[in-house]
Copies of this chain bind each other. A is one copy, B any other.
Amino acid sequence: MTIKLHCFGESGHSYKAALALELSGLDWEPVKIDFFGGEGRTAQFREGLNVMGEAPVMIDGAVKLTQSGVIQDYISEKSGKFGGCDAAERREILRWILWDNHKLSSMAGVTRFLMNFLPEDKQPKEVIAFNQGRLAGTYAVLDAHLAGRDWIVGDGITNADLTCCGYLYYPEPFGFDRREFPNIDAWLTRLSDTPGWKAPYDLMPGSPADRA
C-alpha cells in the first residue's frame, strides 16, 4: 500500500516528513493540501484530517498521523532508518526534534511566511525583527553543536537532521544566510549531497510559482 502524505511545497514541516519518506525508500506519494486556499481552516480538514489544522498528515491504510516528528517516528519503525541505534541515541534525536519544534522550524516557518507570503504593507516589522533576533541565537546553538560532527546525532543521518533542515533549503529570504554558519553550511551540503535528496519544491506539489 502506498503511503499518502497530505502536504504542500511551501511547508517546511511537511518537507521534514516528505524527505524522511523519500530517503527511507518506502513507497509514498504526496497529496496536495490547498493551504493558501484555506483548506486547513475548513471543518472538513479539521474534523477529517487534523484538529490542529496543520500539515503534514500521513495516511498509511488505517493509520493516520500528524506532526512531522510523529510521522518520522513511524517511518523509522517501518523502515528501520533514521531512529538511532539505542535508547540514548533515540533520546538525543528526540531532544533535537523538540528543540527544532520549539526554537528553529517554528520560528523560521513563521518568519518566512510573514516576509514572503504576506503583502508588504501587512508585514509586522517588529515581529519579524524580534523573531530574527531569536533565530540568530538558535542558529548559533546548532552551529556550535555541529562543530566537529558530520551529523547531529551519531554517525549518520537521523530524524534530528531531517527535522532541523526543514526550512533551511528554501529560496525565500527570512534572514538566514548559511554562509554565516560554516558548520551548518557544511552539514546542509552533506545532506543535500546524499543520494535521493530533493529540494522542497521538487519533492512536494505547490510552490509560490503557482500563485505568481
Contacts and interface: CB of A to CB of B under 8 A. Distances in A.
How large, as a class, is the contact surface on chain A?
A: 20 to 34
A67 B98 contact: yes
A95 interface: yes
What DSSP secondary structure best describes chain A's contact surface?
Answer: helix
Interface in A38-71: 46, 51-53, 65-70
A97 interface: yes
A91 interface: yes
A127 interface: yes
Given A97-B98, A126-B124, A127-B127, A51 B106 contact: no
A69 B99 CA distance: 10
B94 A51 contact: no
A46 B141 CA distance: 10
Nearest to A126: B126
Nearest to A130: B127
Contact of A69 (B67, B94, B106, B124): B94
Interface string A84-105: 0001000100110111011101
A11 to B, nearest CB: 13
A176 interface: no
20 contacts: A46-B144, A52-B141, A53-B141, A67-B94, A69-B94, A70-B91, A70-B98, A73-B91, A77-B87, A97-B98, A98-B98, A98-B101, A101-B102, A102-B102, A102-B105, A124-B126, A125-B126, A126-B126, A126-B127, A127-B130
Interface centre among A73, A98, A126 (most CB of B within 10 A): A98
Interface string A172-212: 00000000000000000000000000000000000000000
Given A102-B106, A126-B126, 10 more contacts: A51-B144, A52-B99, A52-B141, A53-B141, A68-B98, A69-B98, A70-B94, A73-B91, A73-B94, A125-B126
